[in-house]
Amino acid sequence: MEGVFANQLRAILTALGIVFGVGAVIAMLAIGRGAEQSILEQMKLIGTNNIVIKSVIPDQEEEDLTANAAEATANTNDKEAKPWSPGFTMNDLEAITNTLPNIEKMSPEIELTTNLIAAGRLQKVKCIGVRNDFFELNNLELAAGDLFHYSHFENGLPVCIIGKAIQNKFFSEEDPVGKKLKCGRTWLTIIGVLENRIATKENLEKLGIRDYNSDVYIPIETALIRFENRSSVSKGDILRNRWDNNEAQNENYHQLDRAVIRVDKTQYLQASADVIARILKRRHHDRVDFEIQVPELLLQQQQKTQETFNLVLAVIAGISLLVGGIGIMNIMLASVLERIKEIGVRRSMGATQNDIVLQFLFESVFISLIGGLLGIFLGITSANIIASYANIPTIISAWSILLAFGVAASVGLVFGIIPAQRAAYQDPIKALRTD
């Protein structure tokens, strides 16, 4: 200890390499762990082994380009030859179910924007027509009440399940189950309330999903019977099939807005998505008015990229510790040369080679441990600063602190052995003669 504190400035400068190395290790691991946790949260939001089908309203400009290409191929100027799509419907899902044998669950969705009136208050909300599989596929649980019953779907009964945010705003001081609310022109009886789903706005936007807490859920048959069935032939459908009506072309003609399909094994995800795309393209007369996404595969690729990034960060931090260790070895070697006479005096007073090795080895490890403690403080502080100002999630785990501290002690031990041995093997007679 006297040897260390007698040269405080040298000890501090020696420890700086360990300080920054340990700090870098902790900060980098915190960033990597935070990113991985964010990916896991996203996977939890979307569920596993899911394929998402979204209906798309083709842009008029793209439609014209497609039609022109078709005309050039067919050598015809007949615009009536343009293919017509019935839109994304329940019949499409039935065809997919009959074709793919590995489907576990399927959840069609109809999204309706409407006014909600309850307890004398008015709010614009999303009224979502779903099946019970929707709640399982999206990992949603009930806080109160029940899910939809078979009779609700069969008869299109006016019942609903509300999100937690709806309860907090309209029924904050009472149990909403059994109460009524009005969506559009339809009065609905509340039969259940969802558990609060905690999700960041960033994750919701990144995954393209709604805030489940703020929606009203109704049986899909209720949405088709009591609200709107866009697959029914109407005047708008006739106008939509006319080339000279550009506005009607962009109207939503899809019966379903979205559907989530879960397959039984992950390895079948991409192949199943390809088969679904071919089925829909054939049924929609070669018009691609739908979009198919496999969120889990995208997130898995993102996770692999993150793991590679974490490895690079760990290597960079490891290099910092290596440089710090080399610095300790250099300073300790210089210290041996400066303290040769001290070594000779100790040997002449009866100190053994082992005593000298332990003395210099202790000094090296002590400097490393001091640097490790300061590095832990620096790493935790840096991680918190990054999380606050760079809007990057960071998670500091106990094992990362123990790892960094253990590495710091190991660096001092490994890089202190050579200087300690050089000090111990000095000839005591020559050492005493040294000025």
Q: What's the pLDDT score for residue 417?
A: 74
Q: What's the pLDDT score for residue 77?
A: 47
Q: What's the pLDDT score for residue 110?
A: 92
For residue 426, pLDDT beyond 80: no
Residue 117 class from Cβ within 10 Å (0-12 exposed, 13-18 middle, 19+ buried)? middle
Q: What's the pLDDT score for residue 40?
A: 60
Kindly report which listed range (6-10, 155-159, 267-271) carries the lowest average pLDDT score.
6-10
Residue type, 85: S
Q: What's the pLDDT score for residue 78?
A: 47
Share of the chain above pLDDT 90, in %: 17
The pair of three-digit structure tokens given for residue 207, joined into one six-digit string: 């995954």
Kindly report which listed range (224-233, 239-248, 249-258, 324-333) carries the lowest average pLDDT score.
239-248
Q: What's the pLDDT score for residue 130?
A: 92
Q: What's the pLDDT score for residue 407?
A: 76
Q: What's the pLDDT score for residue 108?
A: 92
Alpha helices of 200-294 — where are they, by DSSP H? 201-207, 220-222, 235-240, 246-249, 269-283
Q: How far apart are CA 331 and CA 9, in angstroms?
A: 12
For residue 121, pLDDT beyond 60: yes
Q: How far apart are CA 95 and CA 140, in angstroms?
A: 27
Cβ proximity of 400 and 26 under 8 Å: yes
Cβ neighbours, 10 Å, residue 90: 17
Residue type, 351: A
Cβ neighbours, 10 Å, residue 154: 10
For residue 248, pLDDT beyond 80: no
pLDDT tens-digit profile of 26-84? 887 787 777 766 666 665 556 667 888 988 887 655 555 555 555 554 554 444 556 77
Question: Cα dihedral sign for 235, 240, 246, 252?
Answer: positive
For residue 208, pLDDT beyond 60: no
Cβ proximity of 42 and 207 under 8 Å: yes
Average pLDDT over residues 234-245: 51
Q: How far apart are CA 316 and CA 312, in angstroms?
A: 6
Average pLDDT over residues 208-226: 85
pLDDT-derived band at 293 (thresholds 50, 70, 90) equals confident
